[in-house]
Amino acid sequence: MSASGKASAKVTTATLRAMKARGERITALTAYDHLFAALLDRAGVDVILVGDSVATVVQGRDTTVPVTMEQMVYHCELVGRAVQRALVVGDLPFLSYQVSVEDALRNAGRLLKEGLAEAVKLEGGVEFAPTVRRLVEAGIPVMGHLGLTPQSIHQFGSYKARGQDDAEQQRILDGARSLRDAGAFALVLEKVPANLGALVAAAVDIPVIGIGAGPQVDGQILVTHDMLGLFEGFRPRFARRYLELAQEVTGAVSRYCDDVRGGTFPSADESY
Ligand code: KIV
């Protein structure tokens, strides 16, 4: 069921391609646990990404680099059991697919077999096309990730927008085409100029899901903890906030502490 109460069909990779063909925008958000995954699914989001952003927004780390394969399998399984309609995509963490194609296949397989994901995502362009091809041959749907690829933060040196010069724009376009040719079913495009977002979406017949890539792509993804105002560590311009939950939570907790300290909680009605 969607939030509107209408039963809606399970989202598959084919659904997303058909949505692009019809010009229907795709909605995507991240989740890392059962409760949030169920809420997002009930609200009708099309794709739920178990992102390696779990490292920064849940584990309190500075970058996504330290998150492990075991942790990603664990979070995927929590999400996978909760979701009925959305397509569940599991993120391959740093060094789980870069060392060899065999490693990539084994680790992507784990996200499907143990983590209940229905597809995997990996960061990188042309150089990862052979890896994507092998995973797809093995029956594992792959979502690519181009533009700002946070696992390369130590190489980039900052989280500034990518694709700002002609050479990098060309690399991103070449990456999109080669991942599509290798069989990727969709791409995430992160933090690039809006005109490049439009060019990439027009260059490939698979959905391009933007995060800070402007409005002329085939869908949008945000980190749920950013859009709910839960995560305060970092506030990118592209992350529109629909709630200020961190303030709500600290306000509620401080009222609870006041009530306990002042002896007004529990009341007679809240006691046995
Ligand atoms: O890990 C993540 O949350 C992501 C999104 C930012 C696309 O990769």
Instruction: Tell me which of 94, 190, 220, 227 to substitute to probe ligand 1's pocket, judged by most ligand atoms within 8 Å of the beta carbon.
Output: 190
Burial 46-80 (b: 16+ CB within 10 A, else e): bbbbbbbbbbbbbeeeeebbebebebbbbbbbbbb
Report the share of the chain in percent with pLDDT over 90.
95
The residue ranges of every structural domain in the chain are 13-241, 245-272
Report the share of the chain in percent with pLDDT over 70.
97
**pLDDT digit string, tens, across residues 76-107:** 999 999 999 999 999 999 999 999 999 999 99
DSSP state, residue 124: B
Active site residue 118: no
Catalytic residue among 190, 244, 248, 270: 190
Q: Is 223 in the pocket of ligand 1 (CB under 6 A)?
A: yes
| Global model pTM greater than 0.85 | yes
So what CATH class is 13-241? alpha beta
